[in-house]
Structure 1
Amino acid sequence: MSGQAQRLAHALAELEAARARTLALTDCLGDDELMAQHSPLMSPLGWDLAHVGNQEEIWLVREAGRRPALRPDLDDLYDAFRHPRADRPALPLLSPAQARRYLGQVRDQALEVLSASPRAGDPLHADGFVFGMVAQHEQQHGETMLATHQLRAGPPVLDAPAPPSAPADARGLPREVLVPGGPFTMGTDSDPWALDNERPAHTVDVPAFWMDTVPVTNAAYQEFIADGGYDDPRWWTPEGWEHRRTAELTAPQFWFRDGGTGWLRRRFGHVEEVPPDEPVLHVCWYEADAYARWAGRRLPTEAEWEKAARHDPATGRSLTYPWGDEPPSPEHANLGQRHLRPAPAGSFPAGASPLGIRQLLGDVWEWTSGDFRPYPGFAVFPYKEYSEVFFGPSYKVLRGGSFGVAPVACRGTFRNWDYPIRRQIFAGFRTCRTAGEAR
């Protein structure tokens, strides 16, 4: 198979996988639930359904294919920047049946564009970038829709097998791993589907530090709660303490007491005991930062996180994934909504970094200490609303991807961001300390 044929087949497979996920998350509900708003933080699922089609029309049919618009009247309606999520239920949205029909019409034309010869010299077409961008966009909405399902009240409609049990060596892992100091290459110039905020590659000198071998677990986080961590302003930034008070935070979102001393959680409509060995989930940045301070540690910087996830001390290379350059498999990481929950801490030894740090990709997004900022030499591509409009101190960076993330939208350079108060996202964290500091 020629290189061009391989790129076409890869792009087609990713577009089809994204669409299958979109339909699985929407076909399981009736029209009334698809058009309802299950939380003011989220769009109706029916809005997401049509939005992914509109983005595909704009970028694959019009921009990449240079074809006439199919539904230009939908551009404003499904523009995420024009209408806050809380306002979207009041819009004259397409019905689910209309949205599905529109998706099919757009996809038919997009596949014709995909099978045509790419325009030479057009950066949108280089290595199939625009098709990868659209597939990643739809898969990102797949995770957003999964978060909406978590917020939805009512009987369960999603199901998936439990993740594998932790390997035999999980309990014997060291608490932390030393990441040696020195320069490494952060970001990428070589990944053809990397997005603009992941570029360009640049050298960052990171002093030595100790990183948690696994993400912070539910059991460890319960110790913070039991020690009065939510009631002690010493562990919180002033902004965090104010948010903790006004939002009345006492535990991760979806946790509640079982009437005794234990904790239960709601997960996609199921009520279950909080598993002690899973990474903690549904905590905001302020909670993660407070836990780290209580533990005498801190959240890693974004550069520290990426060095821990990508740097190979033996070769000096920055890897695509913690385990190397091989695409993710089920042995490497918990991705793609296969399990609908994090795997136990210490899982996936095949996915460990060269230094032995586990679960850096998949399971839970990991809060870092940093604000979302451009890299030196950043250039907008192909539109400023993907990254540039979000740069600044309002957003904190998350790394690594969760169980809800598709492999196409998860790599060692991928950057996610959100407000520090957000908890409905599938976010956890791990902590670190500067080398030489007390444990």
Structure 2
Amino acid sequence: MTLLADAATQSSSELAAAYRRVRRFTERLAETLSPEDTTVQSIPDASPTKWHLAHTTWFFETFLLRDQEGYRPFDAAFETLFNSYYNTVGQPFPRPQRGVLSRPSLALTLAYRQSVDEHIELLLASGEPNEEQRRVLELGLHHEQQHQELIVTDIKHALAQNPTDPVYRDGEFRLGDTPAAAWIDRPGGVVEVGHDREGFSFDCEGPRHEVLLRPHQLASRPVTCSEYQAFIADGGYNTPQLWLSAGWATVQEEGWRAPLYWRDEGDGHWTHFTTAGRQPIDPTAPVCHVSYFEAEAFARWAGARLPLEAEWEAACDKLPVDGDFADRLLDAGEALHPQPLANSPQGLAQSYGTVWEWTASPYTAYPGYAPPEGALGEYNGKFMCNQFVLRGGSVATPSGHVRPTYRNFFPPAARWQFSGLRLARDAG
């Protein structure tokens, strides 16, 4: 899904077309859900689909329309209900309580989207938007793509609580025969990482700066389910020496014995809940829904480690940003689930799409970083604490959203995202 080549140079009609593409795909992701489905919030970290539909609309209304002469807000109460964390523009409704919002209804939420869409279209049709409007529109579209991914991950978690294993999106599961991973040598030395090229990036992706890397190796593909099953069978969840202290405490408190959504059916047979309902685990598919703690413990068990984000970026910087992304899988009638490789990996396979890959790097500011001024400065910078970076995108990510410098981030115990891992090790 091509978004924008460069918002600064696009015509109003091109901007409007990009806006429509993104907004329509959000609604496509929600079209299989009932009004009841869209209200459910299963954990404090997730949000109801209805809230995602409204919040992304609130973003455009708040930062593009609210100051337009003659514009009247669709509903003044929405300024609080659908504000996520922008304290400089109002008091956000508490995140853990979003699931109690039975109202507004889904129908009214969709009417809100339609109203704001009409006003954005009028704004773009009235003349060429200025530089600030272009910047905010572009940010808003990438922001909505982030919430498209969250719609998939959050509704999957909500439906997984239902013992009837309901289907969110049916689709085919690709057959494959993933070969053994190979180690790919990577040189050491000084490399440059961070965004400094044309096109959009989030503020946390820069400034571009130099990093010194030691010679290392990266696995040619992500870790598979069969490899993770070997970790489980070898007592991985019962061996404290493999775990960080905080990770071991979490394993004990939460009772983890396998990745999220996995279920041991006995006699070595495992199933897991997917967006297409409960399915047998394909041992050749990449493992997903593991936390940073689990990824780090598995790497230690395997005699390896997780890659640094600079190692990942330096290795993947010149690779095509191509892979299994949400819109491509839907268009092909395939399941929104990590698929196995059909051929021997060439270089670093499945680097983009498939699963977000945990890195060993904490989510902190790059040298020289400063958050933008104003309300939009709250977007990324204030979350640079107690989180780890993931790279590459997943099957829930829309195509055109990620790039080599893209930094996703989650707390180390998070598992409801499509998160997996690729191994690394020092050379020599």
TM-score by length of 2: 0.87
Indicate if the aligned counterparts of 2:181 and 2:221 stay in contact, CA closer than 8 A. Answer: no
Amino acid at match of 1:430: R
Q: 1:48 corresponds to which residue?
A: 52
> Residue type of the partner of 1:343?
Q
- Of 73, 79, 82 in structure 2, the residue corresponding to residue 78 of structure 1 is 82
Q: 1:347 to 1:334 in 2, by over 3 A?
A: farther
Correspondence for 1:185: 192
How far apart in 1 are the matches of 2:192 and 2:125? 36
Match of 1:342 in 2: 338
Residue 210 of structure 1: which of 209, 213, 217 is its match? 217
Tell me if the contact between 1:348 and 1:359 (Cα under 8 Å) persists in the aligned partners.
no
- 1:134 paired with 2:130, answer no
- The aligned counterpart of 1:23 is 27
| Partner of residue 284, structure 2 | 277
**Residue deviations 1:406-429 (CA, integer Å, cap 9, x gap):** 123211111111111111111001
Deviation at 1:116, TM superposition (A): 4.6
Alpha-carbon contact 1:40-1:86 (below 8 Å) kept: yes
Aligned in 2, Cα 1:146/1:11: closer, same or farther, shift over 3 Å?
A: same
- Tell me: CA distance 1:13–1:429, structure 2 relative to 1, closer, same or farther (3 Å): farther
Rounded Cα–Cα distance in structure 2 between residues aligned with 1:187 and 1:111: 34
CA distance in 2, matches of 1:421, 1:346: 31
Give the whole-Å Cα distance in 2 for the aligned partners of 1:263 and 1:41: 27
Question: 1:232/1:196 Cα in 2 relative to 1: closer, same or farther (>3 Å)?
Answer: same
Partners of 2:358 and 2:390 within 8 A in 1: yes
Q: Secondary structure at the match of 2:273?
A: strand
**What's the CA shift string for 1:11-35, capped at 9, x where partnerless?**
4343223222221232322222222
What is residue 363 of structure 2 aligned with on the other side?
372
Q: For residue 409 of structure 2, give the secondary structure of its aligned residue in structure 1.
A: strand
SS state at 1:263 partner: strand
Query: CA contact under 8 A between 1:347 and 1:359: conserved in structure 2?
Result: no
Match of 1:357 in 2: 348
Task: Work out whether 1:300 is the aligned partner of 2:307.
Answer: yes
- Alpha-carbon deviation of 1:40? 3.9
**Equivalent residue letter for 2:383:** F
Count of residue pairs the alignment pairs up:
403
Equivalence for 1:143: 149
CA 1:237–1:201 in 2, change beyond 3 Å: closer, same or farther? same
Residue 197 to residue 262, structure 1, CA distance change in 2 (3 Å): same
Residue type of the partner of 2:117? R
CA separation of 1:348 and 1:162: change in aligned 2, threshold 3 A: farther
How big is the shift at 1:140? 1.1
Q: Which residue of 2 aligns with 1:313?
A: none
Distance, in Å, in 2 between the alignment partners of 1:139 and 1:250 is 33
Matched, 1:160 2:160: no
Q: Distance in 2 between matches of 1:7 and 1:228?
A: 59
Q: Do the aligned partners of 2:156 and 2:168 also contact (CA within 8 Å) in 1?
A: no
In the aligned structure 1, how far is the partner of 2:205 from the partner of 2:9?
Answer: 27
Moved more, 70-79 or 423-432: 70-79
> Which residue of structure 2 aligns with residue 426 of structure 1?
418
CA–CA distance in structure 2, aligned partners of residues 196 and 284 of structure 1 = 25
Query: Of residues 105, 120, 135 in structure 1, which corresponds to 2:115?
Result: 105
Q: Distance in 2 between matches of 1:159 and 1:10?
A: 33
Distance, in Å, in 2 between the alignment partners of 1:23 and 1:267 is: 21
Q: Go from structure 1 to structure 2 and tell me whether the alpha carbon gap of 1:69 and 1:415 turns closer, same or farther (over 3 Å shift).
A: farther
Paired AA for residue 15 in structure 1: Y
Unaligned runs of 5+ in 2: 86-91
**What CA deviation, in whole Å up to 9, does each residue of 1:366-402 have, x standing for no partner?**
111111111112132362221111012x111111110
Give the TM-score normalised by structure 1.
Answer: 0.85
Question: Does 1:381 find its partner at 2:398?
Answer: no
Partner residue of 1:226? 233
Choose 226-235 or 174-183, whichever is displaced more. 174-183
State the match for 2:71 in structure 1. Answer: 68
In 1, Cα distance between equivalents of 2:234 and 2:364: 35
- Of residues 254, 269, 294, the one that matches 1:287 is 294
Counterpart residue number, 2:254: 247
> Which consecutive residues of structure 1, in runs of 5 or more, have no partner in the other structure?
311-318
Give the aligned partner of residue 396 of structure 1. Answer: 388
Q: Tell me if structure 2 keeps the 8 A contact 1:50–1:94.
A: no
Distance of 1:225 and 1:58 partners within structure 2: 48
1 CA distance for matches of 2:70 and 2:292?
Answer: 44
- Indicate if the aligned counterparts of 1:188 and 1:201 stay in contact, CA closer than 8 A: yes
Which one-letter code corresponds to 1:156 in the other structure? V
For the residues of structure 1 that align with 2:188 and 2:419, how far apart are their CA atoms? 27
Amino acid at match of 1:73: A
